[in-house]
């Protein structure tokens, strides 16, 4: 069997009205992704205006790209670094005190390589309390990063990460226990 993209059809996928998506695309390009606008407050305001749930003390750096803010929840005191791409075709939940470092990619969608039509697959992502997604790392569809877990620099999480461990590589492998000082 060979791939035949002429049969691709994702009519079943409806992330929001066409007008809402177009308007968001313009706001995202002009403000959210714009590295010349330093204001985290303006980014949060516009994301909330489009349905994102964002807690207190959140910092959203310039260059961030959000596919659909109405599918985004960010808890309190989170940091979203420069050029993070939240490709949230499904829900992305970021709990409290989470750091998503610069250039990280949260990917909720993929394609079914087993079908000739390469159909779209979407699954949510959950980043639990206190975890850290390192710079240039990738979190795949359906992954839950456990509380206090660390996904090290340029690593790929294609499966759930257990709480309180440090992971590294592609695919990410458990390296050691993460100890967080109480001082």
pLDDT: is 169 or 9 the higher one? 169
Is pLDDT of 1 > 80? no
Q: What percent of the chain has pLDDT over 70?
A: 100
**Maximum distance among all alpha carbons in the chain?**
59
> What's the pLDDT score for residue 12?
92
Are 79 and 95 in contact, with CB atoms under 8 Å apart? no
Position 132 scores a pLDDT of 98
Per-residue pLDDT, 7: 86
Average pLDDT taken over every residue of the chain = 96
Domains of the chain: 16-177 (2.160.10.10)
C-alpha to C-alpha distance for 24 and 46, rounded to whole angstroms: 9
pLDDT of residue 20: 97
Portion of the chain with pLDDT greater than 90, in percent: 88
Residue 180 pLDDT > 90 = no
Question: What's the confidence (pLDDT) of residue 107?
Answer: 98
Distant-in-sequence, close-in-space partners of 28: CB < 8 Å, separation ≥ 6: 65, 66
Q: Is the pLDDT of residue 159 over 80?
A: yes
Query: Which band of pLDDT confidence, cut at 50, 70 and 90, is reported for residue 183?
Result: confident
Q: Which of 60-69, 81-90, 114-123, 138-147 has the lowest mean pLDDT?
A: 114-123
Tokens read off for 24: 């968001």
What does the pLDDT average to over 108-126? Answer: 94
pLDDT attached to residue 87: 98
Q: What is the DSSP string of 17-65?
A: -HHHHHHHHHHIIIIIS-TT---HHHHHHHHHHTT-EE-TT-EE-TT-E
Q: Is 30 exposed, middle or buried (0-12, 13-18, 19+ CB in 10 A)?
A: exposed
């Amino acid at each position: 069997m060979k791939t035949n993209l002429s049969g691709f059809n994702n009519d079943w996928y409806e992330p929001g009205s066409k007008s809402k998506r177009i308007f968001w695309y313009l706001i995202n390009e002009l403000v959210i992704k714009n590295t010349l606008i330093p204001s985290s407050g303006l980014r949060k305001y516009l994301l909330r205006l489009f349905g994102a749930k964002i807690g207190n003390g959140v910092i959203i750096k310039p260059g961030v790209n959000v596919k659909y803010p109405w599918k985004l929840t960010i808890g309190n005191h989170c940091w979203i670094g420069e050029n993070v791409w939240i490709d949230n075709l499904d829900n992305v939940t970021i709990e409290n005190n989470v750091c998503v470092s610069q250039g990280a990619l949260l990917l909720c969608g993929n394609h079914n390589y087993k079908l000739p039509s390469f159909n779209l697959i979407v699954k949510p992502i959950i980043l639990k309390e206190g975890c850290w997604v390192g710079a240039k790392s990738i979190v795949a569809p359906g992954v839950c990063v456990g509380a206090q877990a660390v996904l090290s620099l340029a690593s790929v999480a294609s499966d759930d990460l257990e709480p309180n461990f440090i992971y590294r590589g592609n695919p990410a492998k458990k390296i050691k226990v993460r100890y967080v000082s109480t001082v």
